[in-house]
């Protein structure tokens, strides 16, 4: 188990905050043990939250040329045919994965190929399970073109708690299946838009693991 690089700033801020409140408790309330224990408990709680949120577990990746691998940990909350209006502008099969604050928040490429499109959208911070979060929230749009010519679009979508989406990709990059492509801080969602007729291996309510669970076949 490693600590993800995106969490270093948050961890430093929590440690500084913890030092300050512990100092205040001892300096201004030297005779009140309850103030000291409150400072210790709050410091420990915040540190544990940051460490668990930015944890980066070592995993054995599932790979396959025709497989679509889950790009994130979480629960499958949407499977439906819908119109994708930004890039494809036609009917696609949408699969959405909701990531709660306790999930690992590393995002990975679901297939191998070439990044044929990328765009970042600033936006709102609606709850990630809201339908409008897909079009109104801060988000990125990434399209990867497989060697067989088929394309998959997926979006990192910020949630009510998320205030920063991180990406490590740009148009023209080579996407390695299960390779890291980004991170979303503090609760979020990933939408995938697949070709109609894609064979799926998951259903609504399934819990999936990024880089390990097979969503379907391209």
* DSSP codes, 58-116: -------TTEEE-SSSEEEEEEEEEEETTTT-EEEEEEEEEE-TTS--EEE-SS-EEEE
Pick the catalytic residue: 10, 18, 188, 213?
188
User: H or E stretch including 32?
Assistant: none
Q: How far apart are CA 2 and CA 58, in angstroms?
A: 7
Which tokens hold the place of 210? 């990024």
User: H or E stretch including 205?
Assistant: none
User: H or E stretch including 37?
Assistant: helix 33-53
* 116 in active site: no
Active site residues: 188
């Amino acid at each position: 188990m490693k600590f993800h690089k995106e969490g270093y700033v948050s961890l430093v801020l929590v440690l500084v905050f913890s030092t300050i409140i512990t100092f205040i408790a001892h300096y201004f309330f030297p005779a009140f043990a309850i103030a000291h224990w409150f400072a210790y408990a709050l410091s420990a709680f915040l540190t544990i939250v940051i460490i668990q949120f930015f944890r980066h577990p070592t995993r054995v990746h599932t790979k396959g040329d025709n497989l679509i691998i889950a790009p994130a940990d979480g629960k499958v909350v949407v499977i439906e045919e819908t119109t994708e209006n930004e890039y494809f502008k036609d009917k696609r099969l949408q699969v959405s994965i909701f990531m709660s604050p306790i999930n690992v928040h590393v995002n990975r490429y679901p297939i191998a190929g070439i990044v044929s499109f990328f765009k970042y959208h600033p936006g709102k911070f609606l709850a990630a399970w809201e339908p409008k979060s897909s079009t109104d929230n801060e988000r990125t749009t990434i399209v990867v073109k497989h060697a067989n010519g088929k394309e998959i679009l997926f979006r990192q979508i910020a949630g009510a708690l998320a205030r920063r989406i991180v990406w490590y990709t740009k148009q023209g990059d080579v996407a390695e299946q299960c390779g890291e492509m980004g991170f979303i801080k503090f609760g979020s969602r990933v939408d995938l838009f697949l070709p109609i007729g894609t064979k799926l291996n998951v259903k609504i309510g399934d819990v999936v693991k990024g880089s390990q669970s097979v969503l379907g076949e391209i």
